Structure 1
Amino acid sequence: MNNPLDKATSKAPATMGEGCLSRYDPDDLDSDDGTEFPGAAELWEQEQRKSESSEE
């Protein structure tokens, strides 16, 4: 039987460690991987102000 994951177009980066200590291998990551979001703090503050104004 063929592995259905062989048809996937994207693959997770390599990991190191096991169980709770498992994490992505930094040597396998490049600029396309990661979660950099420079506007996150500003967006969070904006959403908090919306939430506070709707509670009043």
Structure 2
Amino acid sequence: MADPFDKATSKAPAIVGEGCLSRYDPDDMSPEDGTEFPGAAELWEQLQQKTEDTPKPA
């Protein structure tokens, strides 16, 4: 079994921007950073359909 602290001490991706506009640099990220989400488009469509099906309060 892998040591759970190995991932916790790994190098974080570079940050671009400052203050509230700071974010991880997408060019510095890899699949190990959690950048892959193959079901994102399907999940987004499901969530959009749920909001359209929900009646708006009067």
Compute the TM-score of the two structures, normalised by the length of structure 1. Answer: 0.48
Specify the structure having the higher radius of gyration (Cα).
1
